[in-house]
Amino acid sequence: MQMPEPNPAILSRKADLVARLRTVLPTDAVISDPAETRAYECDALTAYKCPPMAAILPASTREVSDALRICHDMGVPVVPRGSGTSLAGGALPTADSVILGVARMNAVLETDYENRFIRVQTGRTNLSVTGAVEEHGFFYAPDPSSQLACAIAGNIAMNSGGAHCLKYGVTTNNLMGVTMVLMDGTVIELGGAYLDAAGYDLLGLVCGSEGQLGVVTEATLRILRKPEGARPVLIGFDSNEVAGACVSDIIKAGVLPVAIEFMDRPCIRATEDFAHAGYPDCEALLIVEVEGSEAEIDAQLALIEDIARCHDPVELRQSKSAEESAKIWLGRKSAFGAMGQINDYMCLDGTIPVSALPLVLRRIDEMSKEFGLDVANVFHAGDGNMHPLILFDANKPGDLELCEAFGAEILKLCVEVGGCLTGEHGVGIEKRDLMAHQYAPDDLAAQMDVKDVFDPAWLLNPAKVFPLEASEARRAA
Amino acid sequence: MTPQTEPELAEIIKAADAPLRIEGGGTRPIGGQTNGARVSIAAMRGIELYEPGALTLVARAGTPLEEVEAALANEGQRLAFEPMDHRGLLETTGTPTIGGVVAANVSGPRRVQAGACRDFLLGVRFVDGTGRIVKNGGRVMKNVTGYDLVKLMAGSHGTLGVLTEVALKVLPAPQAAATLALNGLDDTQAITALSRALASPFEVSGAAHLPGKATLLRIEGFAGSVAYRAERLATLLAPFGAVAVETDAEAVAAMWRGIRDVATFHGRAGDVWRLSVKPSDAPGIVAGLRGVEALYDWGGGLVWLLAPEGRANTIRAGVDAKGGHATRVRGEGTDAFHPLPKPVAALQAGLRQRFDPRGLLNPGLMARV
């Protein structure tokens, strides 16, 4: 992975920079000792590491603004960081950058149940947003797997999804407003406690821009009343094709499950060995969850079972209780942990049209043999968001590179069948150099025009999203 | 000019040396007519892909909305964001296009539950003011590959580029629906009642208040579920009075079509304003304005006003004091769109400068350059 050469002129001014940052931030909020900045050398994409020049932990919008203005004036790149759970290297520093961590900004600023929103500082974790409103029976819908740790700031930067977004949408569909600091320190408000902000949809543009347009310090989030109940059904099939066809039929029938999760045989086996969830021995497995009152759940699950029966399932297990639901979800929820027990793995995130599911799974299987690396598939089938897990051995020379090459082929396949490189993890550095497979030069230029407007010096979150050669002239300008 | 293809459109824009007025069906002249040679996208029409099992539809921008809706209805599906038909309110004729719906981010009563047009927009193709053909997003439900220009294009009123193709997420149409009606509530009581219903787990898909007439809720879904939720909501709202339940499909559809299209204001003199505010602020904002008539949708989050001419400053002051924005949908003047705070206006102008450096595309719309 190529990263830009650190700028020696910036490195040489480290002492000056740190001193100036300390004039606007508390002493303990400016970290410059290499032993300590090391904690910020990578996010959850641990294959790539680079300690930053310094890290800062502002506690308010004002502090973020003051610190960014200093970095802007000195021409220092800034890498915003939520909780560092990005699987795409979205918060990977460069050696001449300052990490701006939002961890100290975790307050709830306002909860309004009548108007159904919460306003928080963005260092707050995803799960603790729900935690702040659940005693009133509400929840915040986007639920990325890392929700215990991941910050709202990162969710907004990456437009995070989750298992339940089939019904409730992803971050952008649940974000009503932000307070954002531009690289030059200007504070702006977009949207608020009302729907559809005035003017261009800058809120929609900012969400998913991977921290390259500004640092979001506060967010107004839509909260929803919890459903009366939820229960899943587990359905096993003896082929991926049939499972894929069943997904399509369920969607067409007018049921709107909150989640349709898919696991293939390698994944089922691994999780069984690990978690003993009692999954059937079959090629493909669906977990379909619906919500509502007891009677509403029964009616929906009955309809889903009728559809499934037309596809000759080898197993059909409807949950009748909270314990049974937990058992059905146990394997799915421990899938990543189970894989981690077997080997190192790389988690991909391409999205495909649901109709292309059987073809893509078959091709992945063929490529797995060509590359000599095993793959397990677990994904959000309702919206076509795949998560192939490629197993490799990080200690074996060349294996990571082989795994990355295999991953790139899978993602190109996703694009070929009408899908995209990433459904919810973001581009970061991981998929940066694949962008040209999805977008023509003019398509990328249009996106980079936006970057030029928000951050003309290209200082925010450098070297992410756009291939370096594509952005070179703009960065130098 | 009526280009047949995307490259033809690109040539027209490249060759242009004076402003262009971009038009879909010409049924939504929000913000007034702009000057310039008319460029109609109506000839670029047709559904290019529709996969009911994947809930996706891709259509060229000039495709008539009714063609899209008919194709969806054939498969028991629909556009969940329920785009309004502006013809009655704006006294226009013509054929609304799917591109026009997207360009104005037109959403109806279901916006409060399902989301806005922009939430269902998966991908776009457009030609910008330099003649550059750009694609963004795609046709899959989850896509975070690069910046989301899809959202940027929704509601940009053709000022950044001319849409040529849109990809939309569609949803199944429900088996049954019901309207619940309360009577005799003042605006504040009504919004409180609607908020209580919207904060319930009973999936309200419409929440409107027609002052002096009725306070209305809609629920949709499988028949058994609709009946169950109607009963639960009636119990929940008992403190506000007796709830009348209408389950006749035609009557429910007609009622919400009327709310969607603001039928109450059709054929009546005056300016029409559209306010987006925090629901609980809405009655107070309306009470502070003299001589206006109001209609509340989105649980109070959307207020339609029928107001005398020349009230822009008073209305905007009322909204600005609480937060939100106000657009004059019908009426004369160059200030139809809500003014933006300086740094936001600067970003908007910067984007416009990038995508349309010669100021060709609908130059009078949105904030003026």
**H helical segments located in A38-84:** 61-74
The pairing of strands A224-225 and A138-139 is antiparallel
Pairwise CB contact (< 8 Å): A200 & B156: yes
Of B52, B51, B154, which is closest to residue A172 (Cα–Cα)? B154
Q: Please give the CATH architecture assigned to the domain spanning B263-330.
A: 2-Layer Sandwich (3.30)
Q: What is the dihedral of CA B114, B329, B12, B161, to 10 degrees?
A: -40
Low-confidence ranges of chain B (pLDDT < 50): 369
CA B27 to the chain's CA centroid = 13
What SS3 class is residue A96?
A: coil
Residue of A201, A385, A435 to mutate, interface with B, max B Cβ within 10 Å: A201
Closest Cα of chain B to A92: distance in Å?
A: 17
Q: What is the pLDDT of residue A333?
A: 83
Those of residues 109-148 in A touching chain B at CB distance below 8 A are 112-116, 137-138
Q: Sort out which chain B residues have CB atoms less than 8 A from A169's CB and list them.
A: 115, 119
Q: Which one of B132, B337, B367 has the shortest CB-CB distance to A446?
A: B132
Q: Which residues of A310-325 are buried (b: 16+ CB within 10 A; e: fewer)?
A: ebebeeebbbeeeeeb
Verify that A218 and A238 share a domain, yes or no: no
Verify that A214 and A297 share a domain, yes or no: no
User: Could you tell me the CATH number of the domain that includes residue A42?
Assistant: 3.30.43.10
CA dist A261 and A60 (Å) reads 39
What SS3 class is residue A218?
A: strand
CA dist B190 and B296 (Å) reads 10
Verify that A112 and A219 share a domain, yes or no: yes
Whether the CB of A69 is below 8 Å from some CB of chain B: the reply is: no
Pairwise CB contact (< 8 Å): A354 & B118: no
Is residue A474 very low, low, confident or very high in pLDDT (cuts 50, 70, 90)? very high
Whether the CB of B131 is below 8 Å from some CB of chain A: the reply is: no
> pLDDT tens digit string along A286-344?
999 999 999 999 999 999 999 999 999 999 999 999 999 999 998 888 888 888 888 88
Those of residues 316-345 in A touching chain B at CB distance below 8 A are none
- The CATH T-level fold of domain B176-260 is Alpha-Beta Plaits (3.30.70)
Verify that A118 and A213 share a domain, yes or no: yes
Share of chain B residues as helix, strand and coil, in percent rounded to the nearest 5: 35, 25, 40
Q: What is the pLDDT of residue B368?
A: 52
**Residue-number span of the structural domain to which A311 is assigned:** 230-336
Pairwise CB contact (< 8 Å): B276 & A190: no
Task: Give me the phi and psi of A419, to 5 degrees please.
Answer: -105, -150
Q: Decide if B337 contacts B315 (C-beta within 8 A).
A: no
A3 occurs within a structural domain: no
Pairwise CB contact (< 8 Å): A383 & B152: no
CA dist B49 and B62 (Å) reads 15
What SS3 class is residue A256?
A: coil
Under 8 Å CB-to-CB from B64, ≥6 apart: which residues? B25, B45, B95, B96, B97, B98
CA dist B86 and B104 (Å) reads 11
A96-106 mean pLDDT? 98
Q: Evaluate if residue A477 carries a pLDDT over 80.
A: no
Verify that A300 and A237 share a domain, yes or no: yes
Whether the CB of B148 is below 8 Å from some CB of chain A: the reply is: yes
Domain boundary among A293, A309, A336: A336
Integer CA distances (angstroms), B181 to B244, B280, B282, in order: 5, 20, 20
- Domain coordinates of chain B in residue numbers? 6-172+347-355, 176-260, 263-330
Pairwise CB contact (< 8 Å): B301 & A194: yes
Verify that A120 and A189 share a domain, yes or no: yes
CA dist B301 and A397 (Å) reads 59
Largest interatomic CA distance in chain B = 65
Sheet containing B133-137: give its strands across: B47-51, B56-60, B161-169, B121-128, B133-137
Of A373, A381, A389, which is closest to residue A351 (Cα–Cα)? A381
Q: What is the pLDDT of residue A252?
A: 86
Q: What is the pLDDT of residue A357?
A: 87
What SS3 class is residue B47?
A: strand
A1 occurs within a structural domain: no
E-only strand ranges, chain B: 20-23, 37-40, 47-51, 56-60, 77-78, 121-128, 133-137, 161-169, 171-172, 176-182, 204-210, 214-221, 244-246, 271-277, 293-297, 302-307, 324-330
Mean pLDDT in chain A? 95
What DSSP string describes B172-197?
EPPSEEEEEEE-S--HHHHHHHHHHH
Q: Sort out which chain A residues have CB atoms less than 8 A from B115's CB and list them.
A: 169, 173
Q: What is the pLDDT of residue A241?
A: 86
**H helical segments located in A147-283:** 152-158, 165-168, 171-174, 202-206, 240-252, 265-275
Q: Are both B6-172+347-355 and B263-330 of the same fold?
A: no
Verify that A208 and A287 share a domain, yes or no: no
Q: Please give the CATH architecture assigned to the domain spanning B6-172+347-355.
A: 2-Layer Sandwich (3.30)
Pairwise CB contact (< 8 Å): A253 & B160: no
Q: What is the pLDDT of residue A457?
A: 97
Domain boundary among A47, A71, A101: A101
Q: Evaluate if residue A179 carries a pLDDT over 90.
A: yes
Q: Which one of B173, B323, B354 has the shortest CB-CB distance to A449?
A: B354
pTM recorded for the entire structure: 0.96
> pLDDT tens digit string along A190-230?
999 999 889 999 999 999 999 999 999 999 999 999 999 99
Of B144, B100, B346, B162, which is closest to residue A447 (Cα–Cα)? B144
Domain count, chain A: 5
Under 8 Å CB-to-CB from A443, ≥6 apart: which residues? B134, B135, B136, B146
Pairwise CB contact (< 8 Å): B148 & A209: yes
Tally of CB atoms within 10 A around B253: 13
What SS3 class is residue A22?
A: helix
Burial class of residue A28 (count of CB atoms within 10 Å of its CB; 0-12, 13-18, 19+): exposed
User: Could you tell me the CATH number of the domain that includes residue A348?
Assistant: 3.30.70.2740
Verify that A97 and A15 share a domain, yes or no: yes
Q: What is the pLDDT of residue B33?
A: 67
What ipTM goes with this model?
0.97
